[in-house]
Amino acid sequence: METVLQPIGRAFVSGLETTGRLSIFAIMAVTYCVRPPYYPRLILRQMIEIGFYSLPVVGLTAIFTGMVLALQSFTGFARFSAESAIPNVVVISITRELGPVLAGLMVAGRIGAAMAAEIGTMRVTEQIDALTTLSTNPMNYLVAPRLIAGLAMLPLLVLVADIIGVFGGYLVSIYKLGFNPEAYLRNTMDFVEPLDVISGLVKAAAFGFIIALMGCYHGYNSKVGAQGVGQATTNAVVSASILILVFNYGITELFFAR
């Protein structure tokens, strides 16, 4: 009996421990985001890294998602002669769900991993200790700029993803399924509401925060050695991805459940 219960108890306790440690880290990180000194140069660099360099990945994801969405809805809706609903399906799916979630997951893979690897390497090679000995708080210098940049850039990326995604659906509908371009666009614009886009952008901001937080947390607490940094990188991506999906449900519930 003991042999069965012990691992369960241990997993439970360590789960609680991790949650506690992560919460403390998150609160501290947010405090340091608003507490001076600020590092505008570093924030800008992270913004470029997250916002600009993720554009190709996010753009490609969005355009193919929009395209396949139109194609799949057509095969389904044609059976009920409901092809005219395709523009609506595409724009709602992209702005509410697929834009933020897929962009979030792609950026988690790209940026979350890079943050964890960079900060983890800095931890392992004592660069974080060196920062402290040079009268610089690593939370201020390393973590805060990444959180701010994540929070600010993900909504912008998702806005771009929304536009490109809708354009993907448009391309397939016009050139493959023979829709009328004007009717398609009018249909899209008539149907989409501000709340659809806004809810997606709120999600994006939350996801940006989660990605940066996970990257920094796991990197900051990285174990010694190449294996430690590797583990930190994996943990950052996996935990960010799962949290994105969980929070996605939570935020959807907040916005649309009546």
Partner 1 sequence: MNFEAKTRGWPKIEIRNLHKSFGPKKVLDGVDLDVAAGESVVVIGGSGTGKSVMLKCILGLLQPDRGSIKVDGEEVVGMNGSERRRVMRKFGMLFQGAALFDSLPVWMNVAFGLIEGRHMPRDEAKAIALGKLAAVGLGAEVAELYPVELSGGMQKRVALARAIATEPEIIFFDEPTTGLDPIMSDVINELIIKCVQDLGATALSISHDMASVRRIAHRVAMIYNGRIIWTGAVDAIDHSGNPYVDQFIHGRAEGPIQMAAAYP
List interacting residues with partner 1 (CB under 8 A).
Answer: 37, 121-122, 125-127, 129-136, 141
Q: Residue 3 or 135: which CB sits closer to partner 1?
A: 135
We find the least distance from the C-beta atom of residue 41 to partner 1, in angstroms, to be 11
Residue 47 C-beta: closest distance to partner 1, Å:
16
> Which value, to the nearest 10 degrees, does the dihedral of the CA atoms of residues 228, 231, 236, 237 take?
150
Of the candidates 191, 22, 216, the residue with the CA atom closest to the CA atom of residue 122: 216
How many Å apart are CA 166 and CA 92, to the nearest integer?
9
Kindly tell me which of 46 and 241 has the beta carbon lying closer to partner 1. Answer: 46
Q: Which of 135, 147, 196 is nearest to 33 (CA)?
A: 147
User: Which CB, 84 or 125, lies closer to partner 1?
Assistant: 125
Degrees to nearest 5, angle at CA 194 with 193 and 200: 105
Distant-in-sequence, close-in-space partners of 77: CB < 8 Å, separation ≥ 6:
83, 85, 86, 89
- The residues, ordered by sequence, that sit 6+ positions from 30 with a Cβ below 8 Å of its Cβ are 147
- Taking the complex as a whole, the smallest distance from the CB of residue 175 to partner 1 amounts, in Å, to 46
Residue 180 three-state SS: coil
Q: In angstroms, give the least distance from the CB of 8 to partner 1.
A: 22
DSSP string, 152-177: HHHHHHHHHHHHHHHHHHHHHHHHTS
Nearer to partner 1, 118 or 162 (CB): 118
What is the smallest separation between the CB atom of 51 and partner 1, expressed in angstroms?
A: 18
Q: Which amino acid is at 256?
A: F
102 versus 113: smaller Cβ distance to partner 1: 113
Q: Would you say 88 or 136 has its CB closer to partner 1?
A: 136
Q: Find the shortest distance in angstroms from Cβ 150 to partner 1.
A: 18
